[in-house]
Structure 1
Amino acid sequence: MDDSILQTIKTYYPSLSQGQKKVASYLIDHKEEGAIMTASKLGRKVGVSETTVIRLAHVLGFHGYSHMQDAIRSNWLQSSQSPSLGEAVKEVDRFYQVAEQEKRVFSHMMDQLNPDELRKAADYMMNADRVFIGGFGGSYAAAYWFYYALRQLRERVMLSSSEGLMPEDMVDMNERSTVIIFSFPRYRREGKELVDAARKAGASIIAFTDKPLSPVGREADVTITTEERMDTDYHSIAGAVSVSEMVIQTAAGKYGDQVQARQQKIELMYAEQGMFLE
């Protein structure tokens, strides 16, 4: 372990709680494991709570456990002769970075969500004569999930292919229709073309996108965002699915009788066809 960190632990050791002392001693004796363990795992290993581990980091002058661990990793990697440990630490770092990015997406998403917009989206899609769903390239996965979920709630739901809607699909689009578009960077041209077709037909438009002024966001009647005001190039498919799930659950709650009648018919067909193992 780096001498400065070791000296810091020695300086503060007499004032630490018994639990914090156990963590500090373990970090000194097992620096390799301390370099890659999460706070919760380290706590379980030593027999203390995760909170105790985090408090130790603060007592030692770090902003949090991750900052203390970064210092341990950095100095251990410099002195370590074990390539396998170095790779393990790098892999944990990658996992940690993804987890932190997802946490930031969800945090921003919850701060910016407008319940009125979710309810408005539910009304548009449940009261339309037909619903057209589009998602192209990397956005197709979220669009397909929404298509599958919405078909549990209502009939006449159509999904684009990953490359675009066929003219035969769009010919029935009119002012009573609702178009739902998923569009995340890098924005595909097909998404804007679908929105333009919807606007020409007089259909209502719901956009799931990363920010209000994305190419489809600024054209939609309802724009539901996941990464608004985030200063990053990271884009989360998990965020897109989660916010669309909120709209599905809003619709299911508001249109309960209509949804329940359809789901009973679907479940009966599932049973007759023996579709599921359990």
Structure 2
Amino acid sequence: MNEENKDLIRTIKQNFTKLSKGQKLIAQFIMDNYDKAAFMTASKLGDKVGVSESTVVRFAGALGFDGYPKLQKSLQELIKTKLTTVQRVEMSQDYSSDFEVLNKILKSDIDNIRNTLEDINPKAFEDVIDKIASAKKIYIVGLRTSSAIADYLGFYLNLILDNVVLVNYGISDVFEQIIKVSEEDLVIGISFPRYSKKTYEILEFAKKQGATIVALTDSHISPIATLSDNTLLAKSNMASFVDSLVAPLSLINALIVALGMREKDKIKGYFDKLEHVWKDFNIYEEQA
């Protein structure tokens, strides 16, 4: 069973009558407090509801999970999209010092990069590079918190290519910016929890026009992944009320560098020209 694709709360409700008395206590606690349960060990969850650790493990098995860690992972996926910002802030109140915040956040980001590297599909990565290189026009769509990394991708792709359009909130409506999209074009959608509804709608429109869709997101059950021809996954598990975009940014760095290596001879001359422009107009501080 693919635990990542399960609707956990619905699964619990469907199996509730079949559970033992102790397992029903666990089920009820999770449905009422999934934001807290997601970060509890099997032992701590058992203590909280008054059952043994082994009962918690059997509860996970009764729902079709291969062990409690798989159930916990599903819970953590659930809260990324269901938690309000207020609930996220409440989750972050257990830090005892500023250094503990630093320590936990950096370790969480390291884990996100490590897990992204372990799970990335090399063939999908290469296919995306091929599609970027061959597209007539490339549209980049990333709104709300994802706009930061969409801007970053757009900035560097514009240094390498001359057919890049960054779709964002500005003087014109986002749909006006993508109205000319066609089947010869590529649309890169970037969306991480909490997922932007507008990003999905833009990609849905582009798909209906025949464009190729690439999704950069955190899960195969992400809304934009259901529209994509290629999906690249980057982990964004949060350690606080702030979304972690470190792994997505690292993946985007890899995309830019890989594409740049293919266009090495072309961009070498371009960057040489840019260096003269930057020097002539004093764009950067000169070192003494």
Residue 120 (structure 1) shift: 1.3
Are residue 175 (structure 1) and residue 183 (structure 2) matched? yes
1:250 maps to 2:258: yes
In the alignment, is residue 126 of structure 1 matched against residue 133 of structure 2? yes
Which secondary structure does the structure 2 equivalent of 1:152 belong to?
Answer: helix
Aligned ranges for residues 1-278 of structure 1 at < 5 Å?
Answer: 90-162=97-169, 166-227=174-235, 235-278=243-286
The residue that corresponds to 1:30 in the other structure is none
CA distance in 1, matches of 2:217, 2:149: 11
1:113 to partner: Cα distance: 1.4
CA distance in 2: counterparts of 1:179 and 1:272, whole angstroms: 36
CA 1:99–1:154: 2 relative to 1, 3 Å: same
2-structure distance, mates of 1:207, 1:88 = 34
The CA deviation at 1:187 is 0.4
User: Does the CA-based 8 Å contact 1:130-1:176 persist in structure 2?
Assistant: yes
Residues 78-122 of structure 1 deviation map (CA, whole Å, 9 limit, x = unaligned)? xxxxxxxxx995222111111121121011111011222222111
Considering only CA atoms, is the larger Rg found in Structure 1 or Structure 2? 1
Alignment RMSD (CA, Å)? 2.6
Task: Report SS of the residue matched to 1:176.
Answer: coil
- Partners of 1:134 and 1:165 within 8 A in 2: no
Look up the equivalent residue of 1:133 and give its one-letter code: I
| Structure-2 separation of matches of 1:103 and 1:219 | 29
Unaligned 5+ residue runs, structure 2?
1-93
Q: How far apart are the structure 2 equivalents of 1:130 and 1:88?
A: 47
Q: Runs of 5+ in structure 1 lacking a partner?
A: 1-86
Question: Structure 2 CA distance, aligned partners of 1:195 and 1:216?
Answer: 7
Q: Which amino acid aligns with 1:250?
A: A
How many Å separate the matches in 2 of 1:197 and 1:263?
36
Are the equivalent residues in 1 in contact too, given 2:95–2:101 (CA < 8 A)?
A: no
Provide Cα deviations, 1:46-105, integer angstroms capped at 9, x if missing partner. xxxxxxxxxxxxxxxxxxxxxxxxxxxxxxxxxxxxxxxxx9952221111111211210
Alpha carbons of structure 1 residues 133 and 97: separation in structure 2 relative to 1, 3 Å: same
Instruction: Report the TM-score when normalising by structure 1.
Output: 0.62
Distance in 2 separating the partners of 1:175 and 1:271: 41
**Superposed displacement of residue 147, structure 1:** 0.6
Matches of 1:165 and 1:145, distance apart in 2: 21
Count of aligned pairs: 191
Distance apart, 1:129 and its partner CA:
1.5
Distance 2:252 2:180 in 1: 25
3-state secondary structure, aligned to 1:105 = helix
Measure, in 1, the Cα distance between the counterparts of 2:131 and 2:95.
49
Q: TM-score, normalised by structure 2?
A: 0.60
Which residue number in structure 2 is paired with residue 12 of structure 1? none
Aligned-pair identity in percent equals: 21
For 1:33, the equivalent position in structure 2 comes to: none
Q: CA offset at residue 161 of structure 1?
A: 1.8
